[in-house]
Amino acid sequence: MTEKDVLIQNIQGHKARIGVIGLGYVGLPLVLRFGEEHFSVIGFDVDAEKVRKLNAGESYIRHIPAARLQTLMKERKFEATTDFGRLAEPDCIIICVPTPLTAKKDPDLQYIEKTADSILKTLRKGQLISLESTTYPGTTEEILLERFRDTGLEVGKDYFLVFSPEREDPGNPKFSTRTIPKIVGGTTPACLEAGKALYGEVIDRIVTVSSTRAAELVKLLENIYRCVNIALVNELKLLADRMGIDIWEVIDAAATKPFGYTPFYPGPGLGGQCIPIDPFYLSWKAKEYDFSTRFIQLAGEVNTSIPYYVVDRIASALNDHGKAIRGSKILVLGVAYKKDVDDVRESPALEIMELLQHKGAVLSYSDPYIPQLHKMRAYDFSHMRSAELTEQTIAHADLVLIATDHSSVDYQQVVDHARIVVDTRNATRAVVRGRDKIYRA
């Protein structure tokens, strides 16, 4: 039997051991999915505190219940480690490390590079390596394959390499890791076959493409599509506002068209780990081909301008009440990048807070899922703790800014007790009393 046949047989018998590198929003759901199908999973992370928590059966992500993790621990199906020397143990290694941007908005590939260096030390015959981190077309071959050549092992014969983009939508109850179709592209046909076999055991539908580069571009296309369409509605929101038209009403009506239209919604700016970042991976790579990705550029410009627009709307709302931003008490409601998640990465709320702080606002925030803020790459609000949302905290503020529309908040209560409400998410759409206090932004 060939290495590939042995590997596939072990995968299909659920005897293959799975290694997941990077136990974050993407890695952890994968650990659970494989574990729940009775694979034995070993998780690798550089963050010793996360590893400690996971080994104690604690989940640090709100929408991932600790009980699921504890079941796997009881069945001895999962352990986490910081010891990368153990990378020879798993038969299949799935890489889910971060792919952020540098301060100059270039791809920051250090996490993938470090991971590739670690795997290189222990790569052995019969292993399948799958990269899931979002990145530009060519990364799997240029970073992983290139390094692995040093081992003398032959790809597609001795070991197998695929790219399979993650499509996690944290907190979305309609889809789970199992039901979201999975794209796989392999370096060789044998690699693809092994990759398809692996994911086919835990995910309902596998969609194969002809190369790792195609698979890398699939993920970017999906995210660029969102980024460009969000920019489009954000720009139209500015125009509709000037024309005195309610953009939300327009979008809801357009969304009744049963074909050819997908609704996208405006907001306070782009947020999250993917949409504000991933498109720039492609524009960066495109330069190598003397190609300028103009849609990405334009969408980036529009989306980055939105927090400034929100601040202008706040200034004009306060102005209507004879106040200035300087010295006004502004309560920011929701700082997570989207509703019902506990993730503040790239959240536009933080950008707006930064702008307001520069203008002398006295800031506080309330978010049931973010008890405190930490120092981040671009912002430092580490002194701030979430205020409990009570009638008193609402009434104490000169203005309440709804930056994220968490479902658990009673927006009628907010409007009842607030002096001014600036709503960037149409969270107050069902509010009946006090509509004259609400400014859309």
Q: Residue 134 or residue 428: which is nearer to ligand NAD going by CB?
A: 134
Q: From the candidates 92, 191, 227, 274, give the one annotated as an active-site residue.
A: 274
CB distance 3 to 28 below 8 Å: no
CB-based burial, 278-314: b 16+ in 10 Å, e otherwise: bbbbbbbbeeeeeeebeebeebbebbeebbebbbebb
Strands (DSSP E) found in 66-178: 78-81, 92-95, 128-131, 160-163
Strands (DSSP E) found in 370-429: 399-402, 421-423
Pick from 3, 45, 91, 201 the residue near ligand NAD by CB under 6 A.
45
Tell me if 171 contacts ligand NAD by CB under 6 A: no
274 catalytic residue (yes or no):
yes
Contact track, ligand NAD, 96-125, x by CB under 6 A: xxxx-----------x--xx----------
Sign of CA dihedral 60, 62, 67, 72: negative
Contact track, ligand NAD, 58-97, x by CB under 6 A: --------------------------------------xx
271: nearest Cα among 333, 194, 182, 341: 341
337: nearest Cα among 385, 265, 274, 411: 274
Pick from 40, 130, 133, 404 the residue near ligand NAD by CB under 6 A.
133
H or E segment to which residue 216 belongs? helix 212-243
Least distance in angstroms from the C-beta of 150 to ligand NAD: 19
Q: Residue 126 or residue 272: which is nearer to ligand NAD going by CB?
A: 272
CB distance 407 to 369 below 8 Å: no
Contact track, ligand NAD, 290-319, x by CB under 6 A: ------------------------------
CA gyration radius, the chain: 24
Least distance in angstroms from the C-beta of 281 to ligand NAD: 9
Least distance in angstroms from the C-beta of 64 to ligand NAD: 11
Pick from 81, 127, 130, 134 the residue near ligand NAD by CB under 6 A.
134
H or E segment to which residue 43 belongs? strand 40-44
Contact track, ligand NAD, 7-36, x by CB under 6 A: --------------xxxxxxx---------
The three-class DSSP label of residue 345 is coil
Pick from 44, 136, 264, 365 the residue near ligand NAD by CB under 6 A.
44
> How many residues in the shown chain lie near ligand NAD by CB under 6 A?
26
CB-based burial, 135-159: b 16+ in 10 Å, e otherwise: bbbebbbebbbeebeebebebbebb
Positions marked catalytic: 274
Judged by the rule CB under 6 A, the positions of this chain that interact with ligand NAD are 21-27, 44-47, 50, 96-99, 111, 114-115, 133-134, 166, 168, 170, 273-274
